[in-house]
Amino acid sequence: MNTQERRLYPFPPFAIALLLLFVAYWCVGCANAVAPTGGEPDKTTPKIIATEPAQRATNVHPRYIALEFSKFVQQRSQVQQNLFLTPPLKVEYVWSGRTVFVNFKEPLDSNTTVALTLGTQYTDWDGNKPEAAYTLIFSTGSKLDSGTIRARVEAEKPDGITAFLYQLTANPDTLNPATTKPKYKTQVGSNKTLEFPALAKGAYRLFVLRDEYRNDLIDKGTDAFGAATHDVVLPEGGTAEALLRIAPTEDLTPPRVFDVRQLSATRLAVKFSEKIHPASLRPANFLLRDSAGSLPSQVLPRVQALHTDANNPAIVYCYTDKALQTVQTASSQRIERWQIVASAVRDSAGNTIVDSAKMAYFTAPQETLPDTLLPALVRTQVLSRTALSPFIAPLLADSSRNVPQKPRIAFVFSSALALGATTASVREIVWESADGKAIPHTTALEQANMLVVEPSTTLAPNAWYTVGFRTQALQAWHGAALRDSVVVLRFQTEDARDYGGVSGVVRDSVFAVSTTALVGASQASISKVNISQMSSSQTTMAQVPASTQASISVVPKARILSTQAEYIVVLEAASSLPTSPTGTSGSDAQQSQNAANSPPVNQVPAATSQTSLPFAEKRFEVRLKKPGAWEFANIPPGAYRLTAFVDANGNARYDYGSAFPFVPAERFVVLQTDIQVRPRWTIENVMVVVP
């Protein structure tokens, strides 16, 4: 930033205060000065145009800092909340027009470099935010610490991201950001960059987060968080760079059973505190027993089928093999209250239910409620093979185009089908090509309410097909046939002959040393060691010439020597995939009534009003055991983002690191320009260098 440096006010603070009182007496609204009105909105961003003391001044002992803005700011409190002082001191703020005075309430130490950083979370009167944070540095002595750490944060929305920087001691493993506030703090600008200037030589640890509580601490499970890919060793007056990603807020809360309601003789609704992963829904995980524990296990009802609600995955429907009601035991004891235990159930984040939250009691009705509800077709979807979430699948409407040549078509019903529905559907489902040729296919009941149909062979490209069946051929869980109606879907397959490709090479440029060895060393000369060439018998300890210290990265030994590490290249569509409708459902009774009153189905409900959706896969991966060539073939035309990372622990997903105990994030690279895949064309020689 080209900041004009000049002395703003040659008067002491008390004289300035008297002048302000005098002006306030004669000028109404002076304390709340606003920008002139009228004309088109100004799109220029606010910035600092003058400071007192001057930028990088030495041998100064100011009693205040003055910052003059180029424009009027909208809320002065925003500016004050975004001012970070190093070292931390007690201050007070006084405003005069476009200038803020930061008055020290305690003296500055001698021979100290002072840094005042203004973050990016404030706006001018037109709503413009600054492009980057601004830092004023000066020294009370003759020496000015001049080391600099710059970083880029790869995030879709950088707004509101804060960076914490800690200078490491001889024992860096004791640093816990959950209890220790950072000495250095700044915010990420709209250009996704940040900078820490005026740093002394040494080793530093960098984190980015969304500080929800604004308590200058990293609150696990609350703050979205990301660690740097390495600790930074900064030489005297050197410059170092870092690259970070910030993860979504980590869900650490396991699911909890909230409520249980009996809907009919053999149907229960179990409400959980959050979405339940369908892969964890197994009949053996749900146990029913009387609250007194007096009934033997052989007479207790057993859960034989279950599924999540079609619109709210936090509700799980359980279907039992016998009626559940008030019973009279041989000893004339009345059993009215029942208990359900849901074990090994996981939420969408993978958290498993704990013992204290897995059970609930409910009261059975005096009389058996008849099972009369008939399943109704809710929607039809094409299940993705590579979607990261089980809740994402595009809707398949009649006359859809660009459907994959081997689609997994899911018919989702409002309630459970009979366990024999798979056998019946093999006979009743008709899959034909445009010329009337039957298409061999397989069927599976993946959830009790989800019938999945898939062709046995790859379909022809750019061809029309018809899938249909009579709903009366299917049965509800209680044995009754569904209402007689016809489901017919016509769709056209994609033309993979028009698909393109992308190929290139992965290179690894990281050189590693030990953090602990450098923190305590007064002088270090460390030689470069290439990770991709390092064997398990080699040590990470080395010596580097002073001329190369500024570019040194620090990576823990265990990560360097891991034999599980793979290089994963990801090609992902730049546009987001449309998702199926989700949300909070209404009462179960109302939903049941709506399903029971549904008209006969002759086309797919809830999908006929949708526009044609893209069904092609949106995410592709290539895994490499070592740096080298990679290739993506048969990619639908469009704009794609290319990323790559080193899967150090072999879990096949990117890890954002841990604050305590400290684990650095996995190294990664993001190409800053989208790749345009063109029909019948392969883009070659894309170089991916992992920093």
Q: What is the residue-wise DSSP string for 191-202? A: TSEEEEEEE-SE
The answer to the question of residue 223 being in a domain is no
CA separation for the pair 114, 87 (Å, rounded): 6
User: Where among 596, 616, 646 does a domain terminate?
Assistant: 596
Same-domain pairing of 233 and 346: no
Same-domain pairing of 61 and 204: yes
CA separation for the pair 311, 381 (Å, rounded): 13
Same-domain pairing of 335 and 298: yes
Domain containing 309 — which CATH number?
Answer: 2.60.40.1220
Predicted local confidence at residue 391, as pLDDT: 76
- Give the residue among 13, 237, 204, 217 at the shortest CA–CA distance from 113: 237
The answer to the question of residue 244 being in a domain is no
Same-domain pairing of 186 and 160: yes
Same-domain pairing of 158 and 19: yes
Same-domain pairing of 388 and 333: no
Same-domain pairing of 134 and 31: yes
Predicted local confidence at residue 179, as pLDDT: 96
Name the burial class of residue 626, with classes exposed (0-12), middle (13-18) and buried (19+) by CB atoms within 10 angstroms of its CB: exposed
CA distances from 631 to 134, 501, 570, 574, 644 (A): 43, 7, 11, 19, 13
User: Token pair 């609930």 is at which residue?
Assistant: 360
Instruction: Supply the range of the domain harboring residue 64.
Output: 13-167+181-218+228-238
The answer to the question of residue 294 being in a domain is yes
Do 434 and 619 meet the contact criterion of CB atoms below 8 Å apart? no
Do 15 and 94 meet the contact criterion of CB atoms below 8 Å apart? no
The answer to the question of residue 556 being in a domain is no
DSSP 8-state code for residue 621: E
CA distances from 81 to 84, 198, 355, 686 (A): 8, 22, 43, 44
> How many distinct structural domains can be found in the chain?
3
DSSP 8-state code for residue 39: S
Cβ within 8 Å of residue 263, ≥6 positions away: 269, 317, 369, 373, 588, 589, 592
**DSSP-derived 3-state class of residue 303:** strand
Do 455 and 440 meet the contact criterion of CB atoms below 8 Å apart? yes
CA separation for the pair 66, 103 (Å, rounded): 9
CA separation for the pair 682, 48 (Å, rounded): 48
User: Where among 579, 596, 613 does a domain terminate?
Assistant: 596
Same-domain pairing of 233 and 316: no
Same-domain pairing of 139 and 57: yes
Produce one character per residue of 188-219: b if its CB has 16 or more CB atoms within 10 Å, e if not. bbeebebbbbbbeebbbbbbbbbbeeeeebbe
Predicted local confidence at residue 590, as pLDDT: 35
The answer to the question of residue 610 being in a domain is no
Same-domain pairing of 195 and 288: no
Predicted local confidence at residue 384, as pLDDT: 82
The answer to the question of residue 413 being in a domain is yes
Question: Mean pLDDT in each 10-residue stretch from start to end of the chain (691 residues)?
Answer: 46 52 46 54 90 95 95 91 87 94 92 90 90 91 91 90 93 94 89 90 95 92 92 92 90 92 93 94 93 81 93 95 70 72 92 94 81 93 78 88 92 89 62 94 90 94 94 90 92 90 92 42 32 32 30 37 78 61 33 34 33 66 95 92 94 93 95 92 94 90
The pair of three-digit structure tokens given for residue 557, joined into one six-digit string: 């030994």
Same-domain pairing of 336 and 439: no
186 alpha carbon, distance to own chain's centre: 22
Predicted local confidence at residue 327, as pLDDT: 61
The answer to the question of residue 435 being in a domain is yes
- Whether pTM > 0.85 for this model: the answer is no
Domain containing 213 — which CATH number?
Answer: 2.60.40.3710
User: Where among 316, 337, 363 does a domain terminate?
Assistant: 363
The answer to the question of residue 186 being in a domain is yes
DSSP 8-state code for residue 245: E
Same-domain pairing of 284 and 135: no
Neighbours of 389 (CB within 10 A): 12
